[in-house]
């Protein structure tokens, strides 16, 4: 069975790396705007980055559960492909949310 889950594991690792990238974006924004934890309010630019990261991390456990269940019980390749599509969509969402409304 372990030889059949390598695609799911790869997508999981990519998802974790994407979440780490989002976390780093918040850290950089905190430094840029001088906002110390635990404060979560500040300039609109910071709040957009922070909110996009929080929105993404809220849905990450659901994504992982669905990815692994679909991969184990249905088809690993299809689940991995849809997982990659979701991660790409999440990245586009983050970048779009991060941009000001006049730049979208």
Residue 104 lies in a domain: no
What per-residue confidence (pLDDT) applies to 99?
Answer: 87
* CB-CB neighbours of 83 under 10 Å: 24
Q: How many domains does the chain have?
A: 1
Angle at 97 between CA 51 and CA 9, to 5 degrees: 80
More confident call, 88 vs 102? 88
Angle at 91 between CA 90 and CA 97, to 5 degrees: 85
Residue 76 lies in a domain: yes
Per residue in 57-86, pLDDT (tens digit) is 999 999 999 999 999 999 999 999 999 999
Active site residues: 31, 104
Does 44 score more than 70 pLDDT?
yes
Does 102 score more than 90 pLDDT?
no
The residue segments making up the domain with residue 36 are: 2-99
What per-residue confidence (pLDDT) applies to 93?
Answer: 95
CATH label of the domain that carries residue 16: 1.20.120.550
Q: What is the pTM of this model?
A: 0.91
By the 8 A CB rule, do 48 and 98 touch?
yes
What per-residue confidence (pLDDT) applies to 34?
Answer: 95
**Where do we find the tokens 């849809």?**
82
């Amino acid at each position: 069975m372990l030889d059949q889950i390598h695609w799911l594991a790869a997508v999981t690792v990519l998802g974790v790396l994407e979440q780490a990238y989002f976390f780093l974006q918040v850290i950089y924004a905190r430094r840029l705007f001088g906002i110390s934890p635990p404060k979560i309010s500040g300039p609109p630019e910071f709040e957009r980055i922070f909110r996009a990261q929080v929105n993404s991390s809220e849905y990450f456990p659901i994504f992982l559960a669905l990815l692994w269940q679909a991969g184990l019980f249905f088809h690993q390749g299809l689940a991995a492909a849809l997982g990659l599509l979701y991660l790409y969509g999440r990245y586009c969402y983050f970048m779009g949310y991060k941009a000001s409304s006049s730049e979208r």
